[in-house]
């Protein structure tokens, strides 16, 4: 099960438990109004939709990082490390904790340190 699915299931379970508790604890002489009940169901539906959208954005971001990394393989990049500019060829990439890292001449370089790119010298 994906983390997003787990979060969504927990949220649904929590909502349903709260709803049942609210219905059990309501005053029979003043029951919950239809409008309030409908509003709560709409909020729950919105929450489920937002969680699904967040999961889809996460997948889209991962795909974008893979595409970006693949597009840089074989390119020469200039990057900053140890307060100095370096240049090297991109040999590959990894995604480490959601962050794209390029393998440049055997070193892992975070994409945020890349300052420029050119075609690799033949």
Structural tokens at position 110: 């975070």
The confidence score (pLDDT) of residue 9 equals: 58
Mean of the per-residue pLDDT values of the chain:
82
For 12, residues 6+ apart whose C-beta sits below 8 A from its C-beta are 44, 48
List the alpha helices (DSSP H) in the chain: 3-25, 34-72
2-55 tens-digit pLDDT? 454 555 555 677 777 877 887 777 777 777 666 777 787 788 788 888 888 888
104 and 98 Cβ atoms separated by less than 8 Å: no
Alpha-carbon torsion 37, 39, 44, 48, what sign? positive
Residue 100 has pLDDT above 80, yes or no: yes
Give the chain's end-to-end CA distance (angstroms, integer).
Answer: 46
45-64 tens-digit pLDDT? 888 888 888 888 888 988 89
The confidence score (pLDDT) of residue 78 equals: 93
């Amino acid at each position: 099960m994906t983390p997003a699915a787990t979060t969504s299931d927990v949220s649904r379970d929590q909502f349903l438990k709260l709803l049942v508790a609210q219905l059990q604890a309501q005053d029979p002489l003043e029951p919950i109004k239809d409008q309030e009940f409908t509003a709560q169901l709409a909020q729950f539906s919105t929450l489920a939709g937002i969680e699904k959208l967040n999961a889809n954005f996460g997948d889209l971001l991962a795909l974008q990082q893979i595409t970006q990394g693949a597009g840089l393989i074989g390119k020469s990049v200039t990057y900053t490390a140890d307060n100095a500019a370096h240049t090297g060829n991109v040999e590959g990439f990894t995604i480490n904790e959601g962050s794209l890292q390029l393998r440049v001449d055997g070193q892992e370089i975070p994409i945020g340190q890349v300052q420029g790119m050119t075609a690799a010298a033949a």
